[in-house]
Amino acid sequence: MEFDLKTQTVREVNQALHDLPKDKTTEVVVNGISGDHNLAVGMDQPAKITLNGHAGYYCAGMNKEAEIIVNGNAGQGVAENMMSGKVHVKGNASQSAAATAHGGLLVVDGDAAARCGISMKGVNIVVKGSVGHMSAFMGQSGCLVVCGDAGEALGDSLYEAHLYVKGKVESLGADCIQKEMRPEHIEELSALLKEAGSDEDPHSFTRYGSARQLYTFKVDNASAY
């Protein structure tokens, strides 16, 4: 099944995607994409959707079950509030990738900009390049894997998300610290790298997590809030 945004509207294509059967996997290709916003949002079917071109804001937002491939770059908020499934951006992702996402896997072959994984709530994110400042800000659960470098204030106000970075970290945010890489973390990271199609060595990564000092207000920590 194929669609073309040169001759069809985003609303028409999204409606057709929502009408796909839920009891089988349908393969769909969308061509003619040129920075269009809100592509393939709210999917609730086990479809495999290939988007050929650069996507605009909120591509694959609220995804559930579908596998969505972007053959290009993606704008702000790709895979925002994703529940399950997989979103694979073959290029770069703009800021707030996978914001508030509860589940599923986001793979970015290039770089991701600021606030990647902001308020993540169970999603797994693998960025094969680098991420911008304040990535995993207020991350509650899930994993952020960065095969390149991380910008300033990584993991600021972090809860229980697991952060793995291979390269340099510009600075750590409030209450984020370097932690020991134990065997269970190597196992977790290995599985994520494999699922993302990366051959990086999990032993070359450093783990970061919450110091657990900002869960409740303490006057002695007032300057850190």
pLDDT digits 0-9 by tens, 77-115: 999 999 999 999 999 999 999 999 999 999 999 999 999
Regarding whether 216 and 183 lie in a shared domain, the answer is yes
Boundary of a domain, candidates 44, 68, 89: 89
Is residue 38 within 8 A of residue 19, CB to CB? The reply is no
Is residue 104 within 8 A of residue 124, CB to CB? The reply is yes
The pair of structure tokens assigned to 56 is 């605009």
Number of domains comprising the chain = 2
DSSP bridge pairs for 209: 177
DSSP bridge pairs for 54: 34
Regarding whether 136 and 26 lie in a shared domain, the answer is no
Tell me what pLDDT residue 63 has. Answer: 97
Residue 219, CA distances (Å) to 132, 155, 166, 223, 224 in order: 31, 22, 35, 9, 10
Regarding whether 197 and 114 lie in a shared domain, the answer is yes
- Does this model's pTM top 0.75? My answer is yes
Q: Which domain holds residue 60?
A: 1-89
Tell me what pLDDT residue 213 has. Answer: 84
Regarding whether 111 and 219 lie in a shared domain, the answer is yes
Q: What is the tens place of the pLDDT at every residue in 66-82? A: 999 999 999 999 999 99
What residue has token string 């995993």?
136
DSSP bridge pairs for 172: 154
Tell me what pLDDT residue 222 has. Answer: 67
Regarding whether 120 and 25 lie in a shared domain, the answer is no
Regarding whether 26 and 120 lie in a shared domain, the answer is no
Regarding whether 179 and 123 lie in a shared domain, the answer is yes
Regarding whether 180 and 83 lie in a shared domain, the answer is no
Is residue 190 within 8 A of residue 177, CB to CB? The reply is no
Regarding whether 100 and 84 lie in a shared domain, the answer is no
Boundary of a domain, candidates 51, 72, 89: 89
Tell me what pLDDT residue 221 has. Answer: 66
| Low-confidence spans in the chain with pLDDT less than 70 | 215-217, 221-222, 224-225
